[in-house]
Amino acid sequence: MKTAIMQPYLFPYIGYFQLINAVDQFVVYDDVNYIKNGWINRNQYLLYGKAKYFTLSLNKASSFVPINQTHVLDDEHHRTKEKILKKFKMAYSRAPFYKTVYGLVEDIAQNPDNNIATYNENALRKICTYLNVDTEIYISSKLNKDNALAGQDKVISICKCLQSSIYVNAIGGRSLYSHSEFERNSIKLKFLKTHFDRIYYEQFGDPFVSGLSIIDVLMFNSCEDIRKFLKECSLED
């Protein structure tokens, strides 16, 4: 069994979905602390050929509070989601798959749940369904693991809980983990590398901007083509 674990990001980039697609079990890491200026409540979309941020405002978000105890700002719960949808309309109304994708995005964005962890989890599940990614998704806080642990030890505890034989992490986290420690626990450690040079598509004829939210990929590409992009990656030691 191959397992991956990631925090619940807001409409993350395609590499995140490559990671989900590459494993048998994906764990939404909702019971670690919120990361300021990360990707939990913001991401990037394309506007007039440039990357711009869209953000969900949060209520007293703190790096000392778990993600699953962090909420969208109450008085902006509906308003900020409408602002995001307006941005997407302005940016992508002429995109080739706008009519197909906007209904999906609107359904996700208007989710009344104001817990950022479950809000993002719902988005991940619905996008995976759209892309025919059938990886089993688990929620970290619901697993019977050792919650006294942290960092690498907590990840290993999750893998043991799910009887994983291989743990796959995004390649950017290579310095955080030790092959020998995973091997000591009978788990192989692998890293997923996204081949960005093989992921290219037309964006209104402008110079290509990579690494944007999955929203951008959805708006410009068919489900079949995105499925091909999901395989443009490799597992490395």
pTM (two decimals): 0.95
Read off the pLDDT of residues 81-123 as tens digits, 9 standing for 90 and up: 888 999 999 999 999 999 999 999 999 998 989 999 999 999 9
Strand duo 136-139 + 50-55: pairing: unpaired
Report the percentage of the chain scoring pLDDT > 90: 88
Give the span between the Cα atoms of 163 and 213, in whole angstroms. Answer: 32
- 40: containing domain: 2-236
Domain count, the chain: 1
Structure tokens at 59: 């209520």
77 pLDDT tier (thresholds 50, 70, 90): low
Q: Can you give the pLDDT at residue 51?
A: 98
Residue whose C-alpha is closest to residue 59's, from 11, 119, 13: 119
- Per-residue pLDDT band for 75 (boundaries 50, 70, 90) equals low
* Cβ-count burial 110-137 (b if 16+ within 10 Å, e if not): eeeebbbbbbbbbbbeebbebbebebee
